[in-house]
C-alpha cells in the first residue's frame, strides 16, 4: 500500500472549496456521501478542511472522480 505524503499539501476550508468547485455546501456533502467528491479531514473539534491536491484532482475531472477503494 502506498502512503501519500501530505506534508506539503495545503488545506482548504469550505469557503475555498465552494469557490473552486462552484458547488453548494449541501451538494458537496451529498457527493462525499456518494463517493464522488473528496472527503474532508478533521483539523480540530468541529473544524474540517480538504487537501488542495484532492480538490485539484476533482476539478480536473469532476465526472470521472471516484473515491479510492478502502
The pLDDT value given to residue 5: 79
CA 23, CA 42: separation in Å to the nearest integer?
20
CA 48, CA 2: separation in Å to the nearest integer?
24
Tell me the pLDDT tens digit for each residue of 19-67. 999 999 999 999 999 999 999 999 999 999 999 999 999 999 999 888 7
8 Å CB contact between 23 and 31: yes
**Is residue 8 scored above 90 in pLDDT?**
no
8 Å CB contact between 50 and 57: no
8 Å CB contact between 38 and 45: no
**Is residue 69 scored above 60 in pLDDT?**
no
What is the band of 70 on the pLDDT scale with cuts at 50, 70, 90?
A: very low
- Per domain, the residue ranges of the chain are 11-60
CA 57, CA 53: separation in Å to the nearest integer?
6
Amino acid at each position: 500500500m502506498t502512503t501519500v505524503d501530505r506534508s506539503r499539501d495545503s488545506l482548504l476550508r469550505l469557503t475555498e472549496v465552494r469557490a473552486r468547485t462552484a458547488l453548494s455546501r449541501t451538494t458537496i456533502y451529498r457527493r462525499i456521501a456518494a463517493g464522488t467528491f473528496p472527503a474532508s479531514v478533521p483539523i480540530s473539534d468541529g473544524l474540517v478542511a480538504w487537501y488542495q491536491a484532492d480538490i485539484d484532482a476533482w476539478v480536473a475531472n469532476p465526472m470521472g472522480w471516484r473515491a479510492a477503494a478502502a
